[in-house]
Amino acid sequence: MYICFYCNLTFEVLEDIVDHAVKYHNKYELKYGIKILDEKEGKLFYQTKIHDKIIPNELSKSNRCIRVQGGHIYISDSGAKHKKLNTPTETCKIFDFKHEEDQEPMSEDAKVIHEAYLRELGSMLPKVIEALETEGQLETYLKFNRLLAAGDFPMTNICYLLFLDLVEWFSCPTTTLMRYRSETLKFWQIGYKLFHGKFLRFMTGLKNEGEILNHDTEKGFFDPLRSKINFPVPSKHALYKTNEKPSPFFPGISDKCIEIMAKHYLQKPLKLSVDGKKISRGKCKEMGDIDCWGFENSPTLSRRKSEHSDDLLSIGTFIESIFNIEEKGVYFLDEVGIGDKASLLTNLRHLVQRLGSRNSDLREKDLHLERLEEKFKRLGGPQWKVSKFYPVISSIRVNRSEVRNQIQESLRLSDDLSFFGSIVNDCGQIFSKSQSVDLSSQKNYIELKENNKTNDTRFIKQRTESGCL
């Protein structure tokens, strides 16, 4: 695979890239990139190939041509002798040079577009020069155009590509229509991997901050011209979408790592190590659990997974029992059989008990996080909000908030299940889901009354006048 140094077009074979350079870049040195593999890094990249002092127009004046033979290049004149640039092979293809006036004419459509561009540039140029001169940037702009005209400016430079993305950003009618180049996307992906979200936020700037709160626009219709950005940076979702994530490494012997090490450390002794500390924390379904094959703190991961499976099985059994009742054509509680009621109540009791057990674990977690927060506050001192421990304290507070929200959600669900169980048990009228209960309105509350007056202390209510005598 080859790429043109001047216009970034790609070609499969060397003959095509040389033919392209001879036709469209005959005023400049023969330069192109070759895609090669870095064996150490295992990555593909373009390595620039420069043929010094090989300029097609200059060679044409001396009646010479380029020969491409088996993936190598020669310079030949009208005679049999030729200048060897690389090692020859069998096949050979010759490219004769044409003067500028001998170039193939452009099509009519291309001429119209070309002339339209020239007219537009000519009409804008006075305003461009005036604006650059006002900002004191005219000289730099002239240098940039001289480099472009001479073919010395690297068109693949990442800073230049980021600038082009900036131009595209301010040219879009809305920010959602912005599309990024593959090279700049790779740049942001690498930056995100190295420096995480703080890098993206710093490089982005404020964007269109505050426009939603001020009711200046709606979501998805932000005006790029009103944005305050440093660089147009793709969202995390766009980076994840275009970046293939590596498969996770689960605890155990990593055969893949052993294969990679064996390729790079030939005939060198290596020692396998077991590490129980370097754990990838996360909140996804696959990674983040500490698994030391049963040697971690109780409860072990295998036990927690077993309990989780039992809970899911109980929920599935409860849902299935409800579906079975509906399949029988029973839609009123009075028509539910005794056996079905007993099954429902058994499953409900188990679910409420498991919710209570989980709540107990969550309260212990909340207490542990509270102690950690107090510990780091003591380490940070009176000014802990500006200390180096503040990010840790903020993270703990977020975790505590999530735990507390989960506790409240679990309590609400437990109340709902208990209320449903009371209905199944024909006592829903005496169940209260509120935190306070008016005993006078409860049908299951019976106030004890004194029927017979007696002086026997066994039957006298304590702390009354009779009981104090």
- Give the per-residue pLDDT at 285: 54
**Residue 390 domain-assigned (yes or no):** yes
Q: Map residue 105 onto helix, strand or coil.
A: coil
Shared domain check, 174 and 149:
no
- Give the per-residue pLDDT at 396: 92
CA angle, 186 as apex, 288 and 33 as ends, to 5°?
140
- Give the per-residue pLDDT at 162: 93
For residue range 306-341, list pLDDT tens digits in order: 888 888 888 888 888 888 888 888 777 777 788 888
Overall size of the chain counted in residues = 469
Q: Who contacts 74 (Cβ-Cβ below 8 Å, separation ≥6)? A: 66, 67, 68, 82, 83, 84, 85, 86, 88
The reply to whether the predicted model has a pTM over 0.85 is no
Shared domain check, 263 and 174:
yes
Domain's final residue, options 154, 183, 214? 154
- Give the per-residue pLDDT at 102: 41
For residue range 236-290, list pLDDT tens digits in order: 877 765 445 556 666 667 777 778 777 777 777 877 776 655 555 554 555 556 6
Rounded Cα–Cα distance for residues 189 and 238 (Å) = 10
**Residue 469 domain-assigned (yes or no):** no
Q: Map residue 374 onto helix, strand or coil.
A: helix
**Residue 409 domain-assigned (yes or no):** yes
The answer to whether residues 200 and 191 touch, using CB atoms and an 8 Å cutoff, is yes
Shared domain check, 165 and 126:
no
Shared domain check, 182 and 118:
no
**Residue 445 domain-assigned (yes or no):** no
**Residue 439 domain-assigned (yes or no):** no
Shared domain check, 63 and 21:
yes
**Residue 440 domain-assigned (yes or no):** no
**Residue 383 domain-assigned (yes or no):** yes
- Hey, which bits of 148-284 come out as E strands? 205-207, 228-229
- What is the DSSP code (8-state) at residue 66? E
Rounded Cα–Cα distance for residues 171 and 165 (Å) = 10
Query: Token digits for 307?
Result: 């309990």
CA neighbours closer than 13 Å in the CB half-sphere of residue 356: 9
Shared domain check, 201 and 187:
yes
| β-strand partners of 3 | 10, 33
Shared domain check, 182 and 145:
no
The closest alpha carbon to 30, from 58, 69, 71, belongs to: 58
Domains held by the chain: number: 4
Greatest C-alpha distance within the chain: 141
Shared domain check, 222 and 178:
yes
- Give the per-residue pLDDT at 108: 67
- Give the per-residue pLDDT at 276: 56
Identity of the amino acid at 379:
L
Shared domain check, 137 and 176:
no
Q: Who contacts 290 (Cβ-Cβ below 8 Å, separation ≥6)? A: 276, 279, 296, 301
Give the burial class of 42: count Cβ atoms within 10 A of its Cβ; 0-12 exposed, 13-18 middle, 19 or more buried.
Answer: exposed
Domain's final residue, options 273, 292, 310? 273
Q: Which segments of the chain have a pLDDT < 50?
A: 78-104, 242-243, 283
Shared domain check, 394 and 345:
yes
Query: Token digits for 17?
Result: 């890239």
β 30-38/65-69 pair status: unpaired
The dihedrals phi and psi of 45, each to the nearest 5 degrees, come to -155, 165
Rounded Cα–Cα distance for residues 162 and 179 (Å) = 12
| β-strand partners of 441 | none
Domain's final residue, options 138, 154, 170? 154
The answer to whether residues 189 and 239 touch, using CB atoms and an 8 Å cutoff, is yes
Question: What H or E segment, with its residue span, contains residue 192?
Answer: helix 182-204
The closest alpha carbon to 179, from 234, 229, 236, 244, belongs to: 234
Shared domain check, 119 and 38:
no
- Give the per-residue pLDDT at 244: 53
Shared domain check, 140 and 84:
no
Rounded Cα–Cα distance for residues 206 and 65 (Å) = 56
**Residue 174 domain-assigned (yes or no):** yes
| β-strand partners of 2 | 11, 34
Domain that holds residue 213: 157-273
